[in-house]
Structure 1
Amino acid sequence: MANKKGKNRKSRNNGSVAWKLKYIKKRRVYHQPHPPLHPMSFSDEDAAIDLCFVLFCVLTLHLGPSLWNFMTRKILNDPMPIVVDAFEFLKTIIDLRRTNASLFTTNSPTDMINLETAQKGRLAVAHGYFDEVSRNWSTYLLSWVEVLKMIDAHTAAASVQAIHDELISGNKKPLDVVIFSFTRPDFMNRGVSLQTETELSRAQYVKAIRIQMVLYRSMVKNFGPALRDENHIRTGKARADSEMDVQNLLFDLLEIWLQKPQQDPDMAANVKILETAKDGRNMICHSNLPLLLTDWEGVLLSWKQVATLISNVETAKAIREYHMKLKTEIELPIPIPGQGIRRSTLQPKYFINLVRLKKVPLKTRVAGRQTSRQG
């Protein structure tokens, strides 16, 4: 028995092809909870993607760091790895609130509803559930406001409420909404250099969240649609919704390549490229800031290579151009509140313009529905 366990552990640690394939085949498959009766038009889908980007900015700039600060105050998280993962934080808080009615300074019977809705909103944004975002974006934002109030992040709550109200007014398109501020996580020191391994300087933090937001934008506007097109062409499925889960689509491609003969000269290299692309998605959606700072170029390179692998030359070219422009402009300063500047230009539109994304003509914008996994 001991030898058998040892062999299994060794196989897992070595990341053998057999173990990887078994893991992927056993994964649970998730979808949008409420698929639409009819698919959105492509123009409506593009609008939903823009709206989803604004929600991601709110997650990145306010909800995630506010949850980090709450978890740190309550000694509920390990401060060593700087991973500002709203998913894990909400999961922990939901479990705690379920058993402790006095968890927050002010507690309410609606706490669980708001916490669970907040988690659903985060999942919709991270997994490309654009139908859900289109229908429920207001509900998601308001639940985030309530969660921020629960954890005593009242300034952030007011900021998110203002963003919601500006969107609901209909006076501006999502990408024209200005986000005036961001919440400072307690690991962000006020110095100009890294003080300890568990702190980021102001410049490092701002650079990390800038990278995170623009990579997410590229993922949902360029990389995700290319993966979905490949899936539609390969499976022959008709487009039934606007579910676009990059993680799931990459898992599908990994499963295909892992089943190729190991003698295939491209098998190992392409599996590695796909794994790097998937890891990049996880860095973005789970807010691994140190890795984003060091590995963002490798992520974009892997996405370009995947686009080439699936024969989407236009997307590969767009990602390459996007990479080069971001590389030259990544150090541009962002005005920060409290520095004698009244209005921060932390604006979704600003990040788009910083690295203009080339709209890829989808020659085969075939309608189809992909599967999705949670993660």
Structure 2
Amino acid sequence: MEHLINNRVKQLEISGIRKFFNMVAGTEDMISLTIGQPDFPTPAHVKEAGKKAIDDNFTSYTHNAGLLELREAAADFYKKKYSVDYNPSSEVIVTTGASEAIDIAFRTILEEGTEVILPGPVYPGYEPIVRLCDAKPVYIDTREHQFKLTAELIEPYINDKTRCIVLPYPSNPTGVSMNEQELYDIAAMLEKKEIFVLADEIYSELAFERPHASIAKFLRDKTIVINGLSKSHAMTGWRIGLLYAPEYITKHILKVHQYNVTCASSISQAAALAALTNGLDDSVPMREEYRKRRDYVYKRLLEMGLETVKPDGAFYFFVKIPNVNTNSFEFALSLVEEAKVAVVPGSAFSSLGEGYFRLSYAYSLETLEEGLNRLQDYLTKNRG
């Protein structure tokens, strides 16, 4: 009876990131630099808050939008960090991870035939949801523009079908972020257009060169901000996302959220409250360690003669493959087979990622050193 399955679902594929990770998992002596999983533990005080919630039998449903205290802390977080005000009672929703926030946002604003503008290369989690909404992803090539969308790049792609523009910065897979002037220029271009912006800011606390800037500061009334605690507080498995938007948007998103998951885990919300109150700066030591790793990896990649843009956020390098006769999947597979190093083929990040590979440096310096040594030996051998 498989022919009865929703055809749009049948056409979807598992993320190229996970597909390659699963393919090489279990290989003996493998150095994997694939997954964007912080290698730090969740802060101790956050774990204690979760344990206490269990001991206190805090195991019931919460408000659909999340605990009011948590939404207040989340609103305070954005005001203190990024100078954007949100009403915690009506403009903040606690979600089951940032992924659910993206899903319910798209399902609320997209309709059949509408278009979503995306930078390419880009994280592969947007296109499938756009297609499930019977909308169309439209990619803009950012490879010659430091992997950034700009107002000048966006404007020619806007038409009467354009419903949303995705700004995923700091970026997965490239690690680049945008400054206030760049965001202001996009906001000014969109000011009189009826187009939403989905700003995926999940890596906002991992910005190295300057504090993160949100386009919501300049275009609040049209922006849906996605964030969460997975990257900032090493809480990937707790599944806490945060969605911020004006009330005229959130009142509809909340309906989709309610019928999707009812509410985020009460235990995880208790832990998240500790993270956003007592642990507001928990990300700082992690960020400094990522910065050291970034600098080390960048130096090594340049010494190998590899071409890459130096990332100023997140924990990824997007590296050009030196052998243009090899596609990214074949390169990554060969690297696994010959050097026992796993990276993610650039093709996992749309067709505009072909010819590149993504290397995650969310690993210890010892692991990075060994992985890069193996990569260097592989390149030396295969360059002849």
Would you say same fold, with TM above 0.5? no
* TM-score (norm. length: structure 2): 0.30
More helix as a share of residues: 1
